[in-house]
Structure 1
């Protein structure tokens, strides 16, 4: 029986299609990606995307609106049976794990999510011998059960004339009656779409496996020049890409060291699922100093780039701002740029890139959706530390928690070690490096930082002139400028892990201005909230980023968003004041708990001495010694 009213089928075609139309494609561009997947699986070397405009008469002027979207490729094409199956929901060309597609949903699902009529021509022996079939929502609603049998229909001349690489084999997909496409101006829309397509297929584009042309069409002719998708690498390691100058032909980022000398910036995570081992590959990168700073020698910014404006506000920085998150790669194709792992309010997040690549065999482990736009299980593990606070039982170790998830059959268990590595090791390490990159930036350094350094230097010099010399003064005797430079650069790069360019810039500035003090933040494996480096002519104070005081005091006061409101600033000042009081209370309790009166007196004397030094540095007056 074929009539919906007389059958007992589990689902009806019309209701299924209606439901699938709401399957959640993020945009028309993501729906188009499904068609490009099919073209690449068909070994196409050229994919042409056409957005065809028609005039729309308004009250005062004529505008143009996209009425038809088409994707034409020079792939292997389909025979009659393959074409008919490709238009069937949930069939396609089968579950072939070597293909980008897997679920047999891509062509009908993506197409009907955007339009009410889908037409397909495919040929394996010249476009004149093309076979044709279609889906039409109105016919499905009227009770059409079967995909119409393909018939011989030569490729229309309209599309032949538009194509620049029509092959002896190929496929054309046409969407019309676009009731869910919000594209108006075809040219501008395709230009923006090319950036997303360039990111999704960057590995294919970089390897020259495919060319993707994005062409706006009006009155049967391409408007102006077509856009060709350029590789858009969120790791910014690609030499030639769509990144704005000065990074269009050179990488803007560099691999981030993950301890793999053979493959810098790469780590491999084997996992065993149902007795079979699979490998997940993680790649990480971090901005080169010259991407964020205008004062790196031999790496000037473009002449029209204001060095006093933050790099994030320049074209290359804005480009990076559109590529924030962890990129998930399956079968060489990006599924999602998952921003759940980023600190959403922090603009510095644009300056790192992480890519997680996994084989299609792990689709179920990652929770890949049938429209290949996300991996729900992986996303659910973002901000794992916060989730552990809620989900772990009292006194439960991380291992015990994992064992409990395994016993419960929780789908997250296979990825939890990877998520823990990303959140507690890799991303914190990257963020620490990013904070260090802007130390000593002459162009963007805040004036009050230089003022406090100058004021502290004056105090050091004044005390030295008054006979209160320290070890840094003694070490400076007889030390050459080059000796001082090398000692300081070594301390910054080897002990505190700053990159060479940043360290050199900081030291050059200190020597030029004869500064005797330097303040940095660095991750220290110590309970002390700060430490001191005593070098020839340089007193270096290191605030321990690992200590909670850093996050509650320095980060609150210094890492203030540019768009912070008055209420937010007032809150930050109050929070910093409370933290300072707690700091003094902690000292007081330390004195209180010292069992020996003699030791307590020594601590009290140290407190008195520190108070006198503080008066000299802050008030700028000699302590009278």
Structure 2
């Protein structure tokens, strides 16, 4: 008797199918929705059926069946049988959502031990059914069972809203690996994902109906999925009021397509043809982060002093962080590797990269359509390290001469990193830098500085700002400060008036601001206003980002490791600042060097008083 030596054993095959890489139950369900939409369905219905199971003397509800029904074209017996073959599939073209031919069987077996499929082209009473069963696969089943005539069960027909003359029903049972227990929880979590994946198709009129079921009766809470747009330009959407019916973001950037915020790149596919890749960018409108924009005030139930990230729409945006990768009007992935996960400001920008299926190999699209691995791997790519001293133009020309196939993606990454992200983050920082919430940290420092300043007034001669105050009225001083805030530092008039009012109310004579001054080499600048010493930190100086901003960012949601990294980075930056001063002294001729040394000592004495104003002078 001749023994069989299979390359892959059936139990290993089943294990591989179960671990086929779907990020969640929702991602696996999306594969079934893909099939319906590819079959020209205008309605896809997702049913999650909940049953009652006795557990330790009490009954618990648990999802028992998941089914997806569409009113698409349906399949013949041969096509239906092919659809359940791993890797065979029925749609391997270079267009549309599908391509790889693994979605239906792989996604099903990743969640359930059995999948049954009914499909019909002449009414649901004339459907054909076939199935896959993991137990039979383990026992050596080698062929997809031949489809047999079997009407769509009456239970499904009664639940369905859009049962058509043609269509397909996929039913999962023996759910051993489904992520959530209850029907509503499963649908809620699935809706967030499929609303994002299919946002374009939903906006164009396709419907995905979500139906919770118990005992073959529809539960309250059934609904159509709403678009979930991480660029927040789509309306209507699932974004909480007031931004469900109006955009929460606006397009950002000039673009080269005639549309604001849209940049086009031409990328060569493996077939040698060039295809367009569109990069879209958006940024939060002022009303999303500022409570008092005229005509767009926040809803009355939201406190105007609330952190914008704590609003319902801010929390919604926090779940849509990253760069959205769109292939054939379907989202592959929301890639978070481009974001600073601990920075709450990251939720307020959006970037979308839209490419056709003909560039799958270039971007590295996975067979389960959940990622573009080659592009995502470039999130940590630093062209300066690779260029070894060359400019980007020289580096790009070198790659072109070498025929490097990654050059088009590197050019897109360069645009995102150098042209988009930095500008987006700067815009968002500027958007709220004059608000009450952002001023809190400055005010605490100002209060401590005021204490030291008053002590020095008692011990020293009048300062320059004191002398100026003797020759200016209160109104003249306030007008000078207002002009400085608005014209020089670009605060809004409303923020400028509020800052001045708070300074006067607190009887402060020292003011700490943030400002942008890309043309100045100074880390901070000093202005002498009658009665007010005004210090502005230059946000365009590297020391600001490395030393101040990294510590001023909110700590909510940051891990211990992230917080430790921020402290280490700030400490390193502070040490480098000190070393840069030492080098400055070292480069001076003898007399200026002596003067710089004296300045360092004098500044050190005053710094001691500001940091520890109650300490006794030990000199």
Q: Above 0.5 in TM-score?
A: yes
SS of 2:125's partner is: helix
Task: Within 5 Å, give how 1:11-90 maps onto structure 2.
Answer: 15-90=12-87
Unmatched segments (≥5 aa) in structure 1? 494-501, 621-625
Distance 1:318 1:343 in 2: 16
Output the CA distance in 2 between the equivalents of 1:35 and 1:403.
44
Work out whether residues 324 and 333 of structure 2, in 8 Å CA contact, stay in contact via their aligned partners in 1: yes
Maintained 8 Å contact 1:56/1:64: yes
Deviation at 1:170, TM superposition (A): 0.9
3-state SS, counterpart of residue 492 of structure 2 = helix
The aligned residue for residue 440 of structure 2 is 446
Residue in structure 2 matched with residue 101 of structure 1 by the alignment: 98
What corresponds to 1:548 in structure 2?
542
Flag the 1:181–1:126 CA change in 2: closer, same or farther, 3 A: same
**Offset, 1:32:** 0.5
Residue 371 of structure 2 corresponds to residue 346 of structure 1? no
- Equivalent pair of 1:260/1:266 in contact (CA under 8 Å): yes
CA gap of 1:307–1:126, structure 2 versus 1, over 3 A, is same
Q: Deviations over 1:480-527 (max 9, x none)?
A: 96x98677545445xxxxxxxx62332231354577856114361443
1:158 offset after TM fit, Å?
1.1
Is 1:128 paired with 2:122?
A: no
Q: Distance in 1 between matches of 2:603 and 2:11?
A: 80
Match of 1:237 in 2: 233
Task: State how far apart, in whole Å, the 2-side matches of 1:41 and 1:198 are.
Answer: 17
Deviation at 1:296, TM superposition (A): 3.3
How far residue 359 of structure 1 moved from its aligned partner, in angstroms, is 0.6
Alpha-carbon offset, residue 41 of structure 1: 0.8
**1:224 corresponds to:** 220
Displacement of 1:297 after TM fit?
3.5
Query: What's the secondary structure of 1:113's corresponding residue?
Result: helix
Equivalent of residue 252 in structure 1, options 248, 267, 280: 248
* Contact in 1 for aligned 2:83/2:89 (Cα 8 Å): yes
Q: 2:137 aligns with which of 137, 140, 146?
A: 140
- Does residue 272 of the first structure (1) align with residue 268 of the second (2)? yes
How far apart are the structure 2 equivalents of 1:570 and 1:187? Answer: 39
1:444: Cα distance to partner?
5.4
Which stretch has the larger CA shift, 565-574 or 539-548?
565-574
Give yes or no for contact 1:124–1:168 (8 Å, CA) kept in 2.
Answer: yes
Is contact 1:475–1:535 with CA below 8 Å preserved after alignment? no
State TM-score, norm by structure 2. 0.84
Partner of 2:617: none
Give the one of 179, 183, 188 matched to 1:182: 179
User: Aligned pair 1:507/2:496, yes or no?
Assistant: yes
Q: Secondary structure at the match of 2:175?
A: coil
1:198 to 2:195 alignment: yes
| Pairwise CA distance, 1:537 | 10
Q: Is the 8 A contact 2:555 2:563 kept in 1?
A: no
User: SS of the counterpart of 2:151?
Assistant: coil
Q: Is the 1:52–1:217 Cα contact (8 Å) retained in structure 2?
A: yes
- Between stretches 419-428 and 256-265, larger displacement belongs to 256-265
| 1:386-437 residue CA offsets vs partner (Å, 9 max, x unmatched) | x864xx3855665676677778887644411111222233112111122222
- 1:152 aligns to 2:153 (yes or no): no
Cα distance in structure 1, aligned partners of 2:562 and 2:201: 46
Structure 1 position 146, deviation (Å) = 2.4
The aligned counterpart of 1:290 is 287
Moved more, 364-373 or 137-146: 137-146
Paired residue secondary structure (1:224) = coil
Measure, in 2, the Cα distance between the counterparts of 1:565 and 1:40: 40
Q: Indicate if the aligned counterparts of 2:348 and 2:428 stay in contact, CA closer than 8 A.
A: yes
Deviation string 1:15-61 (CA, Å, 9 cap, x unpaired) is 54542221110111100101101111111111111111221012332
Contact conserved, 1:492 with 1:503, CA < 8 A, in 2? no
Distance in 2 separating the partners of 1:258 and 1:297: 27
Identify the residue that residue 89 of structure 2 maps to in structure 1: 92
Equivalent residues in 2 for 1:380-459, closer than 5 Å: 380-385=377-382, 389=385, 392=386, 395=389, 412-443=406-437, 445-446=439-440, 448-449=442-443, 452=446
Counterpart of 1:499 in structure 2 is none
For the structure 1 residues 248 and 132, does the alpha-carbon distance in structure 2 shift closer, same or farther, using more than 3 Å as the test? same
How far is 1:183 from its partner?
2.8
Choose which of 511, 514, 518 in structure 2 pairs with 1:524: 518
**Which deviates more, 329-338 or 300-309?**
300-309
Structure 1 range deviating more: 506-515 or 164-173: 506-515
Change (3 A) 1:476 1:46: same
Distance 1:316 1:399 in 2: 41
CA contact (8 A) 2:261 2:280 kept: yes
Contact 1:115 1:176 in 2 (8 A): yes
Please state whether the residue corresponding to 1:299 is helix, strand or coil.
Answer: coil
Structure 1 residue 14: Cα displacement: 6.7
| Residues 381 and 412 in structure 1, CA contact (< 8 A), matched pair in contact too | no
Alpha-carbon spacing, 1:295–1:241, altered in 2? closer, same or farther (3 Å): same
Q: 2-side partners of 1:554 and 1:452: how far apart?
A: 15
Is the contact between residue 469 and residue 531 of structure 2 (CA under 8 Å) also seen in structure 1? no
Distance 1:116 1:52 in 2: 16
What does residue 365 of structure 1 align with? 362
Report deviation, 1:67: 1.3
**Alignment RMSD (CA, Å):** 4.0
Q: How far did 1:456 drift?
A: 7.4
How big is the shift at 1:535?
A: 9.6
- Residue 397 to residue 255, structure 1, CA distance change in 2 (3 Å): closer
Q: Residue 350 of structure 2: SS of its match in structure 1?
A: strand
- CA positional deviation for 1:465: 7.3
Q: Deviations over 1:275-325 (max 9, x none)?
A: 421111111112223322334333332333233442222322221111111
Distance 1:15 1:58 in 2: 32
Secondary structure of the residue aligned to 1:174 is: strand
Q: Any unmatched runs of 5+ in structure 2?
A: 505-509, 615-619
**Contact 1:71/1:172, CA 8 A, preserved across alignment:** yes
Moved more, 60-69 or 583-592: 583-592
